[in-house]
Chains A and B, each alone.
Chain A
Amino acid sequence: MLLIYCPYCEEERSELEFRGAGDAHIARPENIADITDEEFEEYFFLRQNPKGLIFERWRHIHGCGRFFNAARDTVSDRFYTTYKAGEPKPDVSDILQSEQNKGAAK
């Protein structure tokens, strides 16, 4: 069972309070009515499904109710960081670098 830091509650809580909500940073096209079938497929269906760093959404559904984003490793299931909805995607190289530093410090 995961332990997830909610950026709104500013606390780590059990996964039981959360609901996964799929990939983060996939914006619904502003002009969605006008996009092509291929663009719609891209938006709605196609996913990176990375082995490693993933940016994903969670909802603290049985907590503060907020959707927020997380950067997590899909192999170790370790969370690198979580951040509020609307905040920019953290720099990947920064995340991985700081992880390496942490590893080195150990």
Chain B
Amino acid sequence: MQRVGVFVCWCGSNIAGTVDVKAVAEALKSEPGVVFSTDYQYMCSQAGQDMIKNAVKEHNLTGIVVCSCSPRMHEATFRKTAAAAGLNPYMVEIANIREQCSWVHKDMLSGTEKAIILGKAAVAKVNLNAPLTPGESPVTKRALVIGGGIAGIQTALDIADAGFPVDIVEKKPTIGGKMAQLDKTFPTLDCAACILTPKMVDVAQNDKIRIFSYSEVTDVQGFVGNFDVTIKKNARYVKEDICTGCGACVDKCPMKRIPNEFNLGMDNRPAIYIPFAQAVPKVATIDPNACNMLKNGKCGLCAKVCTAGAIDYTQKDEYIEEKYGAIVVATGFNPISMDKFDEFAYSQSKDVITSLEFERLTNAAGPSAGKLLRPSDGEHPHTIVFVQCVGSRCESCAEKGKEYCSKICCMYTAKHAMLTRDKYPDTEVYVFYIDVRTPGKNFDEFYRRAVEEYGVKYVKGMVGKITPEGKKLKVQASDLLANKQLHIDADLVVLAAAIEPDKSARPLATMLTASMDTNDFFTEAHPKLRPVESPTAGVFLSGACQGPKDIPETVSQAGAAASKVIGLLAKDKLTGNPCVAGSNELICNGCSSCANVCPYGAISYEDKEFRMPDRTTKVRRIAVVNPAVCQGCGACTVTCPSGAMDLKGFANLQIMAEVDAICK
């Protein structure tokens, strides 16, 4: 039996005005376990707290009930008080007789009556309280960043800068991501490569950072501070540590007509290739679907020309297992497929392109060496039509488009239009828009400059149909402000395709037990207050995997995610919330119901040998809760038919005791 002390607070007149605090203290004296009961004007004051401490010593209290304001207000205060008095802080229960009693009831009689009942419930509960100690777990001081685009790069650099080792896993042969494909960046128009490639070099040279390129994560086990991750390094048939990136093999390879992914298929690359000049790591990769040697054992030219001897046709996929304390998801985005939007004739004409293709077309390292030429005939286009929101804000077309706004298109389209007019003043540039959305520092100014200084023709309306005819693209569109239907003979049409999360994100989310929204964007632990954390502890979000965002936003989120990771890795031990679930193995059925409802993947199963009363042994499957992962929601406790699963601090018996006390 506990020795319970009851402390009824007046809160000045806040409580005492409607509740007869003396009567409450008096009534609770006769409750089971109560050995001391008193009242005081301000229990949270230093004097009030001292009163509690003294009472603990004087009356040898093992449990404390404070009848006062909401536990959301002062539970922490009184727990500290209890700890200072040498009690376990979780031996404190609060009866909320202010917010949920004196403040909402006017009648002294019923207010006092209710306060007594709430006090009784708290006494009943504290009688069943047990000292709780938060669990501790060690932290592996290494971080994993999944995705090597600007988000992953920035996160890795920031983590490494704080002194922690970090690994980047990138599925492409090089890091750099989408930003490496861009030409200029808005709103400053500095060249993407000029600001990105130095960061890529920093990554390569940082001895705290390891890059696993051409690799993917295939398995994640464990929990915050202690993840066990399997990384599959795909065979690139080139020894990474030997290859110098000289490119001799690339020049000699006879299989030259493979669509070049980096230029979105607008030109070709050989079977052995380095994606672009500033690739990191700058090593060659053999495309096994294109290489003659790998397909039918004929050729071997690259091995012959490689003076370093880096080519290895026998290389196999390699699996690496590594421990991490934190994982950052930075899997990024892709433009959606334009296949189902053929009213814009993307499949019918080479001169209808996406904005990302336009980036490559204007990039000095792109297929046309930076000259804006029509893909169909290499001629200079004189009339260019940009179509915004292709597949974005598309509610009715769930099969092909996205309901959300892709956020970045307004700005990059303004950039494309402006740059075109700047470089080729003889070109007519139309931008069809539904709304121009340019919130952001210097963003609206940028868009207005495109209109006012560069003469880009912005038309409020949408393109309805594009008809390739002869060399022209007949664009039929509406100009809503002029209330006209426009017919424009264009030479080039650029579609601002909606963006979507990378396809690798969904299986990764399953591995990480991280939640996603219906669009496959990762969800945040809190949309406003914890925007870079996943609800799964130890998993953080960086960049467009969480939602569409531009480079400045991505970089700031990358930094934020890094600081969260650093905060985690800086700890030697993690202290958990002690109010976690626990399973009574003696009556656990091992039925898996609890694991089904656990949002955190905190429950696993093991076979355990039990000694039976008749001295035989029996092996049974039982649930085991990882207290470091459990967040204490209690979903599992209700789904457990035998009641084996219970929640510390909110145990079945405790809640039922409260129910009984209230219903008595």
Judge: A and B partners, yes or no.
no
Using CB atoms and an 8 Å cutoff, list the residues of chain A in contact with chain B: none
